[in-house]
Structure 1
Amino acid sequence: MDRYSKITNKNKREIVLLKALPCAWGKCRFCDYIEDNSRDRESMITLNRDVLSHVTGEFGVLEVINSGSCFELPKETLTDIRTVVREKHIQKLFFEAHWIYRSRLDEMREFFGIPIVYKTGAETFDYHFREHYLNKHADFRDAEELSRYFDSPCLMVGIQGQTKEMIQNDIRLLKQFFKLGTINVFTNNSTDVKRDEELVKWFLEEYRELEHDPSIEVLYENTDFGVGD
């Protein structure tokens, strides 16, 4: 499992994949990432401390991810991150949080004392597909409502049941309401959600220009950020 990497093509930053307590929701239909969660606090703290020791501060920007939300990281790990921020002169953090934490985002901003870019797994702006098929438990009604809380949504494309029109609308709304975003091309995993190969092929051809869009990062594989397994 790779847990430290550098992103050097868009929005240069270091990135760490840490271990955390179980995801507070943990019922998204498409997600098996939560298998990286743990209840062994001591081992998590030790592992996370080792991963954080690789941070150099080279870009002044650090992204911290885990298999859930940043609020599920142990308090000791949050303190370790703050120490790294201060010692390595980190000027900006990227964190990810589920919609259910939207009222608590300022807690992290106050704790770290530097700007935080909040990512969130929106998956799609199509309410019915997100809530009734993907079981995301993120009941925002539209992109504008989500943008009141979060800076950078993560969308998924290439799932059986999606349509070209849904993807086109998602990308249009992403660019309309957000300065940053991530698009994940779905990869089959241990869940019953399946990849639509024809839809993926269409997306890759139709949105080839996104490779050159500095505001949108496209992940063709789960490990494209250099972390994960």
Structure 2
Amino acid sequence: MIRYSDIINKNQREIVLLKASPCVWGKCTFCDYIEDNNSDTQFNVNFNKEILKNVTGKHKVLEVINSGSCFELPKETLQDIKNIIDSKGIKKLFFESHWIYRNRLEEMKQLFNIPIMFKCGIETFDNHFRCEVLKKGAVFSGPEEVSKYFNSICLMVGIKGQTKSMIKTDIEYLLKYFKHGCVNIYMENSTPFKRDEELISWFRDNYSFLEENDNIEILWNNTDFGVGGN
């Protein structure tokens, strides 16, 4: 498992994949990423300290991800991140957060005192598919409500059961309501969900132009940011 990477294309930044306590939601039917978490807080603290030693501050931007939300990182790890931000002169931070923490984002802003790009995994704005099929646990009225809390969202493309119409709407909302976005092309894992290769091919033919947008990142493979593993 690769835990540190230097993203040198769009939105240049360093990125670390840390360990945290179990995802507070943990019910997404398509996700086995949560298997990377650990209930041993002290183990996580020590483990994360070693990963964070790789951060140089070269781009003045840092992204921190884990198998859940930034709020599940140990408090000591958060302080370690804060120390690195201060010592390396980092000016911007990327964090991930589940929708369930939407009313606590200010806590992180006050702790780090630098601009934070909060990324929220919406997956799709189709309510039935998101809530009943993917079991995402994010209930909201529409993109306007999401944009009140999050300036960046993650969408999923290519799961069997999705439609072209869903994806068209999702991309439309992404471009209209959000400053930044990440489109994750679904990779099969240990869950029963399968890739829709025809849908992915259609997306590639019709939406590859998004790669020219500085604020949109497409992960054709889930390790395209240089971290993670099989």
TM-score, normalised with respect to structure 1: 0.99
User: What's the counterpart of residue 61 of structure 2?
Assistant: 61
User: What's the counterpart of residue 223 of structure 2?
Assistant: 223
* 1:36-185 matches, cutoff 5 A: 36-185=36-185
User: What's the counterpart of residue 214 of structure 1?
Assistant: 214
CA shift at 1:146, angstroms? 0.3
Structure 1: state its 5+ residue gaps. none
Determine if contact 1:157/1:200 at 8 Å carries over to the other structure: yes
Residues 33-67 of structure 1 deviation map (CA, whole Å, 9 limit, x = unaligned): 00000011121111100110110000100000000
Residues 154-202 of structure 1 deviation map (CA, whole Å, 9 limit, x = unaligned): 0000111111111011001000000100000001101111110100111
TM-score, normalised with respect to structure 2: 0.98
* 1:190-201 matches, cutoff 5 A: 190-201=190-201
Matched residues, number: 229
Residues 86-117 of structure 1 deviation map (CA, whole Å, 9 limit, x = unaligned): 00000010000000000000000001111111
For 2:208 and 2:133, how far apart are their aligned partners in 1? 28
For 2:171 and 2:215, how far apart are their aligned partners in 1? 12
CA shift at 1:84, angstroms? 0.3
**Is 2:1 aligned against 1:22?**
no
CA shift at 1:212, angstroms? 1.2
For 1:134 and 1:108, how far apart are their aligned partners in 2? 28
For 1:147 and 1:210, how far apart are their aligned partners in 2? 20
For 1:117 and 1:140, how far apart are their aligned partners in 2? 20
User: What's the counterpart of residue 33 of structure 2?
Assistant: 33
Determine if contact 1:127/1:141 at 8 Å carries over to the other structure: no
Identity %: 60
For 1:173 and 1:211, how far apart are their aligned partners in 2? 17
Structure 2: state its 5+ residue gaps. none
For 1:79 and 1:142, how far apart are their aligned partners in 2? 35
CA shift at 1:152, angstroms? 0.5
RMSD: 0.6
For 1:78 and 1:172, how far apart are their aligned partners in 2? 35
Aligned residue for 2:31, secondary structure, equals coil
Aligned residue for 1:207, secondary structure, equals helix
Aligned residue for 1:82, secondary structure, equals helix
Structure 1 stretches of 4+ moved >4 Å? none
